[in-house]
Structure 1
Amino acid sequence: MIQRHMQTRINHRVVEAGGILHFGGLAADDFSLDMKGQTEQICAKIDKILAELGSSKEKLVTAMIYISDFSQKDGMNEAWLNWLPAEHLPTRATIGVAELGKDVLVEIVVSAVR
Protein backbone atom coordinates (compact mmCIF):
# COMPACT_ATOMS: atom_id res chain seq x y z
CA MET A 1 0.00 0.00 0.00
CA ILE A 2 1.19 3.50 -0.80
CA GLN A 3 0.34 6.42 1.47
CA ARG A 4 1.05 10.03 0.53
CA HIS A 5 1.65 12.67 3.18
CA MET A 6 1.79 16.49 3.16
CA GLN A 7 0.62 17.42 -0.31
CA THR A 8 2.07 20.54 -1.87
CA ARG A 9 1.20 22.13 -5.19
CA ILE A 10 3.78 19.98 -7.06
CA ASN A 11 4.28 16.84 -4.95
CA HIS A 12 3.77 15.12 -1.63
CA ARG A 13 6.47 15.88 0.95
CA VAL A 14 6.62 12.18 1.86
CA VAL A 15 5.43 9.03 0.14
CA GLU A 16 5.32 5.85 2.21
CA ALA A 17 5.70 2.45 0.57
CA GLY A 18 6.50 -0.84 2.29
CA GLY A 19 7.10 0.87 5.63
CA ILE A 20 9.70 3.24 4.16
CA LEU A 21 9.14 7.02 4.23
CA HIS A 22 10.56 8.58 1.06
CA PHE A 23 11.04 12.36 1.35
CA GLY A 24 11.06 14.85 -1.47
CA GLY A 25 13.88 17.40 -1.41
CA LEU A 26 13.86 19.79 1.53
CA ALA A 27 15.47 23.23 1.58
CA ALA A 28 15.94 25.76 4.37
CA ASP A 29 13.50 28.60 5.04
CA ASP A 30 16.20 31.26 5.46
CA PHE A 31 18.38 31.46 2.36
CA SER A 32 20.52 34.24 3.86
CA LEU A 33 22.26 31.58 5.98
CA ASP A 34 25.48 29.85 4.96
CA MET A 35 25.43 26.15 4.07
CA LYS A 36 25.88 25.08 7.69
CA GLY A 37 22.91 27.19 8.80
CA GLN A 38 20.74 25.98 5.93
CA THR A 39 21.66 22.38 6.73
CA GLU A 40 20.71 22.89 10.39
CA GLN A 41 17.30 24.22 9.35
CA ILE A 42 16.71 21.29 7.00
CA CYS A 43 17.70 18.77 9.68
CA ALA A 44 15.19 20.38 12.07
CA LYS A 45 12.50 20.05 9.36
CA ILE A 46 13.36 16.39 8.88
CA ASP A 47 13.10 15.82 12.65
CA LYS A 48 9.68 17.47 12.76
CA ILE A 49 8.27 15.57 9.79
CA LEU A 50 9.65 12.24 10.98
CA ALA A 51 8.08 12.77 14.41
CA GLU A 52 4.72 13.65 12.82
CA LEU A 53 4.84 10.37 10.90
CA GLY A 54 5.92 8.22 13.85
CA SER A 55 9.60 7.88 13.02
CA SER A 56 12.89 9.52 14.00
CA LYS A 57 16.34 10.39 12.65
CA GLU A 58 17.69 7.17 14.18
CA LYS A 59 15.63 5.32 11.57
CA LEU A 60 17.12 7.06 8.52
CA VAL A 61 18.20 4.63 5.83
CA THR A 62 19.70 6.82 3.13
CA ALA A 63 20.34 10.47 2.26
CA MET A 64 21.21 12.41 -0.87
CA ILE A 65 22.55 15.88 -0.24
CA TYR A 66 22.70 18.31 -3.13
CA ILE A 67 25.06 21.26 -2.68
CA SER A 68 25.83 24.17 -4.94
CA ASP A 69 29.12 25.32 -3.35
CA PHE A 70 31.75 22.72 -2.43
CA SER A 71 33.79 25.36 -0.62
CA GLN A 72 31.08 25.24 2.10
CA LYS A 73 30.88 21.42 2.33
CA ASP A 74 32.75 21.33 5.66
CA GLY A 75 30.02 23.46 7.26
CA MET A 76 27.34 21.16 5.89
CA ASN A 77 29.21 18.13 7.23
CA GLU A 78 29.58 19.79 10.64
CA ALA A 79 25.83 20.45 10.90
CA TRP A 80 25.04 16.91 9.67
CA LEU A 81 27.38 15.26 12.18
CA ASN A 82 26.14 17.46 15.05
CA TRP A 83 22.60 16.36 14.22
CA LEU A 84 23.13 12.61 13.77
CA PRO A 85 24.81 10.28 16.26
CA ALA A 86 27.60 8.26 14.60
CA GLU A 87 25.87 4.94 15.27
CA HIS A 88 22.80 6.08 13.31
CA LEU A 89 24.42 7.57 10.20
CA PRO A 90 22.56 6.48 7.04
CA THR A 91 24.13 5.78 3.69
CA ARG A 92 24.79 9.11 2.01
CA ALA A 93 25.83 10.71 -1.24
CA THR A 94 26.78 14.36 -1.63
CA ILE A 95 26.15 15.64 -5.12
CA GLY A 96 27.43 18.92 -6.52
CA VAL A 97 24.95 20.85 -8.65
CA ALA A 98 25.24 24.09 -10.56
CA GLU A 99 22.19 25.68 -8.96
CA LEU A 100 19.34 24.81 -6.62
CA GLY A 101 17.50 28.12 -6.85
CA LYS A 102 18.29 31.67 -5.80
CA ASP A 103 20.50 31.53 -2.67
CA VAL A 104 19.65 27.86 -2.00
CA LEU A 105 22.93 26.21 -1.04
CA VAL A 106 21.73 22.75 0.01
CA GLU A 107 18.77 20.43 -0.54
CA ILE A 108 18.40 17.12 1.28
CA VAL A 109 16.45 14.00 0.30
CA VAL A 110 16.12 11.17 2.84
CA SER A 111 14.35 7.86 3.35
CA ALA A 112 13.56 6.35 6.74
CA VAL A 113 11.78 3.38 8.26
CA ARG A 114 8.53 4.28 10.01
Structure 2
Amino acid sequence: MITRKEVGSRMSKIVEYNGVVYFSGIVPNDKSLDLKGQTKEVLQMAEELFERAFTDKNHLLRAEIYLKDIDKDFQAFNEVYDAWISKEHPPARACVQASMSTPQTLVEIVFTAAKIQ
Protein backbone atom coordinates (compact mmCIF):
# COMPACT_ATOMS: atom_id res chain seq x y z
CA MET A 1 0.00 0.00 0.00
CA ILE A 2 1.23 3.48 -0.88
CA THR A 3 0.72 6.25 1.69
CA ARG A 4 0.99 9.91 0.72
CA LYS A 5 1.24 12.87 3.13
CA GLU A 6 1.09 16.59 2.50
CA VAL A 7 -0.50 16.01 -0.86
CA GLY A 8 -0.84 18.91 -3.28
CA SER A 9 -2.06 19.19 -6.84
CA ARG A 10 1.46 18.68 -8.22
CA MET A 11 3.22 16.47 -5.67
CA SER A 12 3.26 14.84 -2.27
CA LYS A 13 5.96 15.92 0.16
CA ILE A 14 6.10 12.42 1.68
CA VAL A 15 5.39 9.07 0.00
CA GLU A 16 5.78 5.77 1.82
CA TYR A 17 5.85 2.34 0.24
CA ASN A 18 6.90 -0.97 1.75
CA GLY A 19 8.70 0.64 4.71
CA VAL A 20 10.64 3.13 2.57
CA VAL A 21 9.87 6.85 2.80
CA TYR A 22 10.52 9.13 -0.17
CA PHE A 23 10.68 12.89 0.38
CA SER A 24 10.21 15.54 -2.28
CA GLY A 25 13.01 18.02 -2.85
CA ILE A 26 13.42 20.42 0.05
CA VAL A 27 14.39 24.03 -0.68
CA PRO A 28 14.78 26.88 1.80
CA ASN A 29 11.97 29.33 2.45
CA ASP A 30 14.38 32.20 3.17
CA LYS A 31 16.25 32.63 -0.08
CA SER A 32 18.08 35.71 1.21
CA LEU A 33 20.36 33.47 3.31
CA ASP A 34 23.81 32.45 2.15
CA LEU A 35 24.56 28.81 1.27
CA LYS A 36 25.25 27.79 4.87
CA GLY A 37 22.07 29.46 6.10
CA GLN A 38 19.97 27.89 3.35
CA THR A 39 21.50 24.48 4.08
CA LYS A 40 20.76 24.76 7.81
CA GLU A 41 17.17 25.74 7.03
CA VAL A 42 16.73 22.82 4.60
CA LEU A 43 18.10 20.34 7.15
CA GLN A 44 15.78 21.69 9.85
CA MET A 45 12.82 21.37 7.48
CA ALA A 46 13.96 17.81 6.69
CA GLU A 47 13.97 16.86 10.37
CA GLU A 48 10.40 18.14 10.71
CA LEU A 49 9.34 16.05 7.71
CA PHE A 50 11.18 13.00 9.08
CA GLU A 51 9.20 13.28 12.32
CA ARG A 52 5.90 13.36 10.41
CA ALA A 53 7.00 10.27 8.46
CA PHE A 54 8.16 8.32 11.54
CA THR A 55 11.83 8.26 10.59
CA ASP A 56 14.98 10.20 11.41
CA LYS A 57 18.43 10.96 10.04
CA ASN A 58 19.78 7.68 11.47
CA HIS A 59 17.47 5.82 9.07
CA LEU A 60 18.41 7.73 5.91
CA LEU A 61 19.13 5.56 2.90
CA ARG A 62 20.02 8.22 0.35
CA ALA A 63 20.64 11.96 0.05
CA GLU A 64 20.56 13.67 -3.35
CA ILE A 65 22.05 17.15 -3.09
CA TYR A 66 21.71 19.84 -5.73
CA LEU A 67 23.90 22.95 -5.49
CA LYS A 68 23.52 25.99 -7.71
CA ASP A 69 27.30 26.51 -7.86
CA ILE A 70 29.18 23.37 -6.81
CA ASP A 71 32.63 24.91 -7.36
CA LYS A 72 31.84 27.83 -5.05
CA ASP A 73 29.64 26.12 -2.45
CA PHE A 74 30.71 22.47 -2.10
CA GLN A 75 33.05 23.06 0.85
CA ALA A 76 30.63 25.35 2.71
CA PHE A 77 27.78 22.87 2.16
CA ASN A 78 29.87 19.99 3.49
CA GLU A 79 30.77 21.94 6.64
CA VAL A 80 27.07 22.22 7.56
CA TYR A 81 26.10 18.75 6.29
CA ASP A 82 29.00 17.00 8.06
CA ALA A 83 28.05 18.60 11.39
CA TRP A 84 24.43 17.42 10.94
CA ILE A 85 24.61 13.94 9.41
CA SER A 86 24.87 10.78 11.52
CA LYS A 87 28.50 9.63 11.61
CA GLU A 88 27.40 6.09 12.53
CA HIS A 89 24.69 5.79 9.86
CA PRO A 90 25.54 7.98 6.86
CA PRO A 91 23.35 7.49 3.78
CA ALA A 92 24.42 6.91 0.22
CA ARG A 93 24.90 10.35 -1.30
CA ALA A 94 25.16 12.21 -4.57
CA CYS A 95 25.98 15.90 -4.93
CA VAL A 96 25.70 17.70 -8.27
CA GLN A 97 25.39 21.18 -9.70
CA ALA A 98 21.94 22.07 -11.01
CA SER A 99 19.87 24.96 -12.30
CA MET A 100 17.40 25.86 -9.58
CA SER A 101 13.73 26.80 -9.59
CA THR A 102 14.60 30.40 -8.63
CA PRO A 103 17.83 32.37 -9.03
CA GLN A 104 18.06 32.83 -5.24
CA THR A 105 17.82 29.10 -4.40
CA LEU A 106 21.30 27.79 -3.66
CA VAL A 107 20.55 24.24 -2.44
CA GLU A 108 17.91 21.52 -2.73
CA ILE A 109 18.04 18.11 -1.05
CA VAL A 110 16.03 14.95 -1.73
CA PHE A 111 16.04 12.26 0.96
CA THR A 112 14.97 8.61 1.04
CA ALA A 113 14.68 6.86 4.41
CA ALA A 114 13.58 3.64 6.04
CA LYS A 115 10.57 4.00 8.29
CA ILE A 116 11.32 3.32 11.95
CA GLN A 117 9.56 0.08 12.87
TM-score, normalised relative to structure 2: 0.92
The residue identity in structure 1 corresponding to 2:89 is H
| Cα contact 1:100–1:106 (8 A) shared by 2 | no
Q: Distance in 2 between matches of 1:103 and 1:39?
A: 13
The residue identity in structure 2 corresponding to 1:46 is A
The residue identity in structure 2 corresponding to 1:101 is T
Q: Residue 77 of structure 1 corresponds to which residue in structure 2? A: 78
Q: Distance in 2 between matches of 1:8 and 1:102?
A: 24
Q: Residue 87 of structure 1 corresponds to which residue in structure 2? A: 88
Q: Distance in 2 between matches of 1:85 and 1:20?
A: 18
Q: Aligned in 2, Cα 1:103/1:59: closer, same or farther, shift over 3 Å?
A: same
| Cα contact 1:2–1:17 (8 A) shared by 2 | yes
Q: Distance in 1 between matches of 2:47 and 2:38?
A: 14
Q: Residue 49 of structure 2 corresponds to which residue in structure 1? A: 49
Unaligned runs of 5+ in 2: none
- The DSSP-based 3-state class of the residue aligned with 2:88 is helix
In the TM superposition, residue 46 of structure 1 has moved relative to its aligned partner by 0.9
In the TM superposition, residue 8 of structure 1 has moved relative to its aligned partner by 2.5
Q: Residue 25 of structure 2 corresponds to which residue in structure 1? A: 25
Q: Aligned in 2, Cα 1:67/1:82: closer, same or farther, shift over 3 Å?
A: same
Runs ≥4 residues deviating over 4 A: none
The count of corresponding residues between Structure 1 and Structure 2 is 114
Per-residue CA deviation, residues 66-111 of structure 1 (Å, 9 max, x unaligned), is: 1111201111111111111211210000011133312000000000
Q: Residue 15 of structure 2 corresponds to which residue in structure 1? A: 15
The root-mean-square deviation of aligned C-alpha atoms, in Å, is 1.1
Unaligned runs of 5+ in 1: none
- The DSSP-based 3-state class of the residue aligned with 2:51 is helix
Per-residue CA deviation, residues 32-74 of structure 1 (Å, 9 max, x unaligned), is: 1111111111111111111122111110000100111120111
| Cα contact 2:14–2:53 (8 A) shared by 1 | no
